[in-house]
Chains A and B, each alone.
Chain A
């Protein structure tokens, strides 16, 4: 088997998702042996030019430069895989989409004229064709290994898109909604984290974005029964995947509460 050439790229993001690759620890040497890591600045100064067989892209498009770069990455890559909530949904920085970015720039930077930014933070799929998405903030190490292994062996990856609730029950977690009345987005959130937060008796905050075929409207109705303050519910939907259309639609139902 020829070793596929791998490139790891970053747009607007925190680096946490590409670090997941380095976090593979026990499997890292096996991964490094199975693929030719041609471009991964976080791991090596040796940067080889494209084309690449597989591009892992982290981060969202927030600047004109990002928007140009993603076209270049797409043109150089046979398979383009987005990793993490920034790349797949615009990330937490997509909160800017709900506000006036010029006001933010003026508040944060001493010399706003130096800042070249777009008004929105958008997912990679809004700009180029994406072949596969790995969700999460950050992505799950096991899911990344499964995806890379599936690519190496030419099979479909086993990365189910059911809700977090199924993974909670597989793990034997106690349901935080039923036992504690905790607001939890697990019923409508894409699995993959192994139900990490509910496993620590915290509600799921939806960082994997929507699961397939779930009922976000019923989830909002449930949240409205649990939480009196509309702004709390709105913020729950407006987290790491705030720009996801499914979550954004639910957030738009809750206009009341503080800050209005």
Chain B
């Protein structure tokens, strides 16, 4: 992979390049005391000099001693919010005066570019690709948004207390899925090391004021981030959970679980939706899809009755699908080790600890 040096004051040139042709740029920005992903236009929109302090059920921001633009760990949002949107109209139908039905499709989505995604985020996109872009059963909503995206990843140089990507084999080193990868170097004269990961990435930096550089900063950053990670998913979790389906340990976590579904909603791979049909007063019908969660009792209704009535059953459904049966369905784990479900659980329930406890791993 070719490596280049980019000065921080030239980063805006790259951001402009990413937005050429009307591409909508999504990146980190500060909102309501957290770093979310949202539309950005220039480096002025990026959170500057901030870091995250993270624990189960807790994430707050602190000032850094430097002007780092990417000096924090992942917040609640992932690329899922744009590639698999929270709510999307699939079609509308209307009747004319003669009673004939007319169907309209939805508008063309914008083209997206992302900046600031981490290794776990790229792995999550890979998993959603496996879910939504299966040969013969492609989801058109996802496919239309996923096609032709540009991704500028950021190499993590630190880990949050809830990160465990190293044990999932998904990070912290960015080694696939990005057009460009930035490593922010803050020692000495601040600069970015830019790694090119695709032909599209090569095109993105063509003509930008970058200089070839021999640097091991990306590997050093990844090694630092990996060294920070204390949480480790047990290697036998896929089998151990399926062997514990009737364990009383599910009741223990169910006593603490709010069944609010936040874990699934911040999870960058969880994809469950429901479909809602409504009508306008004028009689137009709207058929829309929105995120749903397996933690909602109503989500489990079959023939008007909840098949997973208790919280323990719903927690078991989530954990075993995420860590065990996802392999059977999609040839991969459903977990990328980003730790969002731990951080953004209001009750601070720790997926790794629960998997270890319920599965009986050491």
Contact = CB atoms under 8 A, between A and B. Distances in A.
Contact of B34 (A27, A179, A222): A179
A152 interface: yes
Contacts of A171: 86
A149 B293 contact: no
A102 B280 CA distance: 49
Contacts of B298: 160-162, 212-213
A165 B347 CA distance: 13
Given A30-B281, A162-B296, A179 B59 contact: yes
A160 B293 CA distance: 12
A180 B58 CA distance: 8
A173 B32 contact: yes
B220 interface: no
B272 to A, nearest CB: 11
Contacts of B299: 162
A163 interface: yes
Contacts, number: 137
A145 B345 CA distance: 33
Interface in A146-173: 146, 149-150, 152-153, 155, 158, 160-163, 165-166, 169-173
Interface stretch (A77-85, A117-125, A126-134, A183-191): A183-191
Given A163-B296, A178-B58, A201-B33, A146 B259 contact: no
B282 A30 contact: yes
B350 to A, nearest CB: 14
B347 to A, nearest CB: 5
Interface string B257-284: 1111110011000000000111111110
B291 A222 contact: no
A149 B58 contact: no
A165 B346 CA distance: 10
Nearest to B291: A170
B58 A181 contact: yes
B297 interface: yes
A152 B256 CA distance: 43
Given A158-B277, A162-B296, A174-B36, A213 B306 contact: yes
A163 B261 contact: yes
A179 B32 contact: yes
B353 interface: no
A222 B345 CA distance: 11
A166 B258 contact: no
Given A172-B81, A174-B31, A187-B346, A145 B76 contact: no
Given A153-B279, A178-B346, 11 more contacts: A152-B281, A163-B258, A163-B259, A165-B260, A165-B261, A169-B266, A170-B86, A172-B77, A179-B59, A213-B309, A218-B259
Interface of A: 27, 30-31, 34, 145-146, 149-150, 152-153, 155, 158, 160-163, 165-166, 169-175, 177-181, 184, 186-188, 201, 212-215, 217-219, 221-222
The 6 closest A-B pairs by CB, nearest first: A213-B297, A187-B260, A169-B265, A165-B260, A187-B258, A177-B346
14 contacts: A149-B280, A163-B258, A170-B291, A174-B33, A178-B76, A179-B60, A186-B260, A187-B258, A213-B296, A213-B298, A218-B259, A221-B347, A222-B258, A222-B347
